[in-house]
A and B are shown apart, each in its own frame.
Chain A
Amino acid sequence: MAWELLLWLISFFVSIALLALVIYQLICLSDLEFDALNPYDTSSRINLVVIPEFVMQGALCTLFLLTWHWFLFLITVPVTFYHVRLYLRRKHLLDVTEIFRLVNEEKKYRMVKLGFYLVLFFIVIYRLVVVAVTLLIDEDVDMHESYTF
């Protein structure tokens, strides 16, 4: 049971990281819109974190597959697939020259992803809590049982 807890802990931190990365990208984009950041900085900042985000998301997806968590795997795999597709088409990076034309789309795309990661985050928290609680109760029960016997 302990490895289960470990898995959810890892998932928990990864989804927090994913959330943080997406929020960071969104902040960069809105900074760009409000003229607080120039397009060069915006694109280099965002492009810096795109690959880590993809890798983390992919790792999480693989982790769910390997640990046989079908439900979560099926939730995350479309996004992974989408990321892979973007990467293969070389469209995963922001185009600095056209950034202002794309900024609205890019924001929308990241908002959707933010929502998705949030859902994932809550599911993971829920599972984490469930696992942690059952673990505690089990221990409790174990202790109790050992006590009675």
Chain B
Amino acid sequence: MASERPGPSTYPGRPAISPFTAAPQTTMPFLSSGLVVGSEGSGYRANTPAGFNGPSMSSPPSAYASPNLGTYQRFPGPASTQLISSANGPPTGQPVLLPPVLPSTGQHVLAPPGSFHPQPQIPSVPMGQPPQSLNLQPPRGSFPSSPLESSFIAPRPASQSSLHGYPTRQANLVSQVPPVQSPPFLAHQGGYVSPPPLAAPVGLSSREQMQHTGGGPPVGGIQNLVEEFQSLSVGSAPGSIDPGLDFKALPRPLDGDVAPSSLANMYPLNCHLRYLRLTTSAIPNSQSLLSRWHFPLGVVIHPLAKAPDGEEVPIVNFGPTGIIRCRRCRTYVNPYVTFTDGGRKWRCNICSLLNDVPGEYFAHLDATGRRIDIDQRPELTKGSVEFVAPTEYMVRPPMPPLYFFLIDVSISAVRSGMLEIVAKTIKSSLDELPGFPRTQIGFLTFDSMLHFYNLKSSLSQPQMMVVSDLDDIFVPLPDDLLVNLSESRNVVDVFLDSLPSMFQENLNVESAFGPALKAAFMVMSQLGGKLLIFQSTLPSLGIGRLKLRGDDPRAYGTDKEYAIRIPEDPLYKQMAADFSKFQIGVNVYAFSDNYTDIASLGTLAKYTGGQVYYYPGFQSSIHGEKLKYELTRDLTRETAWEAVMRIRCGKGVRFTTYHGHFMLRSTDLLALPAVDCDKAFAMQLSLEDTLLTTQTLYFQVALLYTSSSGERRIRVHTAAAPVVTDLGEMYRQADTGAIISLFSRLAIEKTLSYKLEDARNFIQQRIVKALREYRNLYAVQHRLGGRMIYPESLQFLLLYGLALYKSVPLRGGYADAQLDERCAAGYTMMTLPVAALLKLLYPRLIRIDEYLQNASMKIDDFGKFSKSLPLAMQSLDSRGLYIYDDGFRFILWFGKMLSSDIAVNLLGMDLSTFPDPSKVSLSERDNEMSKKLIGILKRFRESNPYYYQLPQLLRQGEQPREAFLLFANLLEDQSCGTSGYVDWMLQLHRQIQQSA
């Protein structure tokens, strides 16, 4: 439809607008019909305008009389692809055109919406938008006359011709930008969601049109289109979309993360994608090619990802032979090495050196050159294996799993109930701590003094030793502060039972955090291990005390802004480095509702492979479950101790930057004192040689660690990827999830030395540059004119980019997120695996009331029945019950008109009459509906086990909770100063075109 742009002379419809805009009070239907003329006029060729204008002028009123205002909201896209087909077909009288056009639209317009029902949505009340959009009519007056229009005119002739020249290609391309997209319009949009009003009626008509044609033989119904789209998607290069014209047609990742499978198909011996994902499965062969790929080139590695049952990583023990590795590059033997010389030599796939096969490992080759024993050798058939490491891989005997708890017992910790929950949770997890019977454990509590505990097994009661000299920390007892859990189990039990009551009456408000940290370091430095810090106030005494510095709104927007996001006291970095050096991994649990300087505390976790858990305003009655689950998971999940990780790759390529929670011990060695199955790492690579001569590039990740059972092991993941010479191929093979994962890490790191705005612009610029480059690949060839195109593989990238833009660490300014929350979210996102990150960025929104009410549906049907909805206000119907799931919490949104028996069944009361829904908690009740809901929640939790999702109840219209809990996260809507999905697309499109 881009091709449909009228030449300058074909603007007859335009003037028609001005009369309407001149009278801003025009009613909606009237206005829209008037506008239809304008936009349709623009959709016409020069030869038809007169003929077409007439009917369209008259028909719209009747056609649009029935839908209410809300419906207009629903079809905000100005000129959808469908519109083109529809608008085009009748007037030009070229039915021949229809089939190619429709399938094409199907590719982008139909397929995604296929998953959310347009029909049920129509009646929904759009939550107060109609008045807004009505109010805002005056500004509209400004856009038809905007200067930008002229800029759209230029490409038109070209694209018009393309319609004739490439009818099928047309299908792929998305339509032109209508004049509506002028910047003045965008600038005015601030308040209302509905995109150019011009579009609304058009979208409607197109939909109707589609329904008409849908029955016709050439089109064959939506289902066909979807299939066609899927089969097309494999080969067709330029995916394309109508830039923001049809809201519903925009691509959305409603199925969550879908890892591209092409690489796995090409190299079946690769390790599974859950362990290693490349940002593109086609490696550029030259630096000049790489410089045109504006996304990061790298990998996201999740070395200990939990494998489903039956796919566990096989363990290989070479025994006395030692591990087979390349002499030169130290690559581990893997499925891609080749055996030659009758099996006596093997060639390293990374550096192509010929190595000798040790005698014990020798096996004859069969006629095809395969080793005859290959079936018994998992290291030669599987991309992921675990080698048992002999003593050469140890600098000291494998350490026992060691947990040390540093617990704040000041008044706020006691009052919030944190202390009690922590003590109980630790006690209940004792049996499941990994590494029995070698596990060691120790405790240290602190307020203005440090309390050490002697847990010696011969004691019946733990002995407490208090150190009050904070300037000169010493450890009062050389050993017995860290004890073997199985030997001292009774003492530990007694201690944990008495811990909450011991400090029941504590009124101390101070926190000697720094000295306590030093003391913990002294206790642990012999062995290393895992240090869990529970902190509920701002450190106020001794070294490492911190100031209340986060409350200053003036810092935002200045060049000094970043300073509040980095540790205030260099001591924290120094301590983190020391912890890492002595194999201590730190996890920080922070609880305060006041400022606790997560930026500083989190540094400890950042460089030690740890994690930051943040519970703002912790109340044991509300957040207790969450803390309990997350602490239990932290304590019981499989942990790799004193680990180091290295990634090797072929000649000419080098990994240069690493992003995540770790410390670099040498240029390419990541030190991970304690790493577990919930941590992912990202790294970028650069080409050293100007030209790669190999056809395939191999990557090998090796994680050397001590398992909880005390065995030294090396987990090796090997992957291969083709080297290509074609930029288009790189884009086609791109992996949105990995790109976004790297982007988020890069952007968060940027916030540590620049303004938030710079970090956001960074993402936007990179996306724009990349798409411009892609566009340049095809624009000339296919005369794309004003369309926005992107590869199929990146169809969700733009939305994720927007999501990143609005994510907690990067969004807005001072008022949009509390500093601590920002920092905590930043630390979290730096470690999240790809799937969980994407889930956090584009959460799931599902309507569940129908499912709950329908007794015939069982929990097993839920997967089939439930459909994720676009994250926009329009998806919410006031008669529905919705669940919003971002992997960190559930928000249950009760519509105003939701039948009250659902609420009664679920909560035991009528929510609409209850004064404060934030106080209501969800628990299983003895009725079918409640059981079903709990079942759903359980299922959702299983799909994202990293964190506990605490259900929060929300009633429609309950301000201000609704606004910041849910509306701020409906990222496709416009919210305070940020653009919605449609505008975002328009904005990007404009930028892409600017110098294209």
List the interface of chain A (C-beta within 8 A of B): 32-33, 35, 38-40, 90, 93, 95-97, 99-101
Contact = CB atoms under 8 A, between A and B. Distances in A.
A55 to B, nearest CB: 20
Nearest to B572: A97
Given A40-B581, A90-B570, A97 B667 contact: no
B664 A100 contact: yes
Contacts of B577: 39-40, 96-97
Contact of A96 (B573, B603, B666, B667): B573
Contact of B665 (A33, A38, A95): A38
B428 interface: no
A90 B657 CA distance: 25
Interface of B: 570, 573-574, 576-577, 581, 603, 607, 657, 663-667
Contact of B607 (A35, A90, A93, A97): A97
B666 A35 contact: yes
B637 to A, nearest CB: 26
A101 B607 contact: no
Contacts of A38: 665-666
15 contacts: A35-B667, A38-B665, A39-B577, A39-B663, A39-B665, A39-B666, A93-B570, A95-B570, A96-B574, A96-B577, A97-B577, A97-B603, A99-B664, A100-B664, A100-B666
A33 B573 contact: no
Contacts of A39: 577, 663-666
A97 B574 CA distance: 8
A99 B664 CA distance: 8
B380 to A, nearest CB: 30
A33 B663 contact: no
B667 A100 contact: yes
B667 A33 contact: yes
Contact of B657 (A35, A95, A99, A101): A101
A48 to B, nearest CB: 14
Given A95-B573, A97-B573, A97-B607, 6 more contacts: A33-B667, A39-B577, A40-B577, A96-B577, A97-B577, A97-B603
A97 B665 contact: no
Contacts of A35: 666-667
Nearest to B580: A97
Contacts of A93: 570
A35 B665 CA distance: 9
The binding surface of chain A is classed by DSSP as helix
Contacts of A96: 573-574, 577
A143 B460 CA distance: 96
Nearest to B657: A101
Nearest to A101: B657
B916 to A, nearest CB: 45
Contacts of A40: 577, 581
Interface centre among A93, A99, A100 (most CB of B within 10 A): A100
A97 B663 contact: yes
Contact of B576 (A32, A33, A97, A100): A97
Contacts of A32: 666
A101 B667 CA distance: 9
B658 to A, nearest CB: 8
A42 to B, nearest CB: 10
Nearest to B752: A98
A33 B664 CA distance: 12
A31 to B, nearest CB: 11
A33 B666 CA distance: 8
A32 B570 CA distance: 22
Contacts of A90: 570
B450 to A, nearest CB: 26
A75 B664 CA distance: 38
B506 to A, nearest CB: 34
A93 B573 CA distance: 12
Nearest to A34: B667
The 9 closest A-B pairs by CB, nearest first: A100-B664, A96-B577, A35-B666, A97-B607, A97-B573, A97-B577, A40-B581, A97-B663, A100-B667
B973 to A, nearest CB: 38
A109 B736 CA distance: 38
A38 B644 CA distance: 14
Nearest to B749: A101
A104 to B, nearest CB: 10
A96 B608 CA distance: 13
A33 B667 CA distance: 7
Interface centre among A32, A38, A96, A101 (most CB of B within 10 A): A96
Interface centre among B574, B577, B607 (most CB of A within 10 A): B577
A140 to B, nearest CB: 58
Contacts of A99: 664
Contacts of A97: 573, 576-577, 603, 607, 663
Nearest to A33: B667
A39 B664 CA distance: 8
B515 to A, nearest CB: 21
Contacts of B574: 96
Contacts of B664: 39, 99-100
A147 B381 CA distance: 99
A93 B571 CA distance: 12
A64 to B, nearest CB: 33
A33 B573 CA distance: 21
Nearest to A36: B666
A138 to B, nearest CB: 54
A87 B407 CA distance: 36
Nearest to A100: B664
Nearest to A40: B581
Contacts of B667: 33, 35, 100
B663 to A, nearest CB: 6
A40 B667 CA distance: 13
A99 B573 CA distance: 12
Contacts of A100: 664, 666-667
Nearest to A103: B667
Contacts of A95: 570, 573
Contacts of A101: 657
Contacts of B570: 90, 93, 95
A4 B578 CA distance: 49
Contacts of B607: 97
A106 to B, nearest CB: 14
A97 B667 CA distance: 12
A100 B664 CA distance: 7
B22 to A, nearest CB: 59
Contacts of B576: 97
B742 to A, nearest CB: 16
A12 to B, nearest CB: 36
Nearest to A35: B666
